[in-house]
Amino acid sequence: MATDAEKISQAISQMHRIAVIGIKTERAGGPAYTVPAYLQRTGFDIVPVPVYFPADTEILGIPVHRTLATILPPADTVLLFRRSVVVAEHLDEILAAHPRTVWMQLGISNDAMAETLERAGIDVVQNRCLQVELARRGR
């Protein structure tokens, strides 16, 4: 798991297209909206994968996907905005999509899932805010 500053910096340097599972709409607000909006403003290609909001077809001006399998080209990073107790519900689809990195936002962690992902060759960052880590690195 990426826990030291160098490994986190390396994971960030390889991010380009980020699928955000659990993204929220602007009207719902909160970090699950503001962090992806920030990432988009700083040049990342964001792909919304909301869990709720079934009537919404766009978030951040981008068509939503309901599963990672429909994202083409595939995302190199999956950013999770889901509670720790339910994050493993996405394990199979993440393994199938095989992103380079899975990032669990601040307050989100699941060691068993992280170990499974790492055994599959996927880097994992847990319990860290991607926006904060970018700001620390001047982005």
pLDDT averaged over the chain? 95
Say how far apart CA 76 and CA 48 lie, in whole Å. Answer: 14
The token pair that represents 65 in the structure block:
């996907």
Read off the pTM: 0.95
pLDDT value, residue 14: 94
> Tens digit of pLDDT for each residue in 18-57?
999 999 999 999 999 999 999 999 999 999 999 999 999 9
At 2, the pLDDT band (50, 70, 90 cuts) reads low
CATH architecture of 5-136: 3-Layer(aba) Sandwich (3.40)
Sign of CA dihedral 39, 43, 49, 55: positive
pLDDT value, residue 3: 62
What single-letter DSSP state applies at residue 113? H
- Contact of 60 with 36, CB cutoff 8 Å: yes
Say how far apart CA 82 and CA 49 lie, in whole Å. Answer: 11
pLDDT value, residue 7: 86
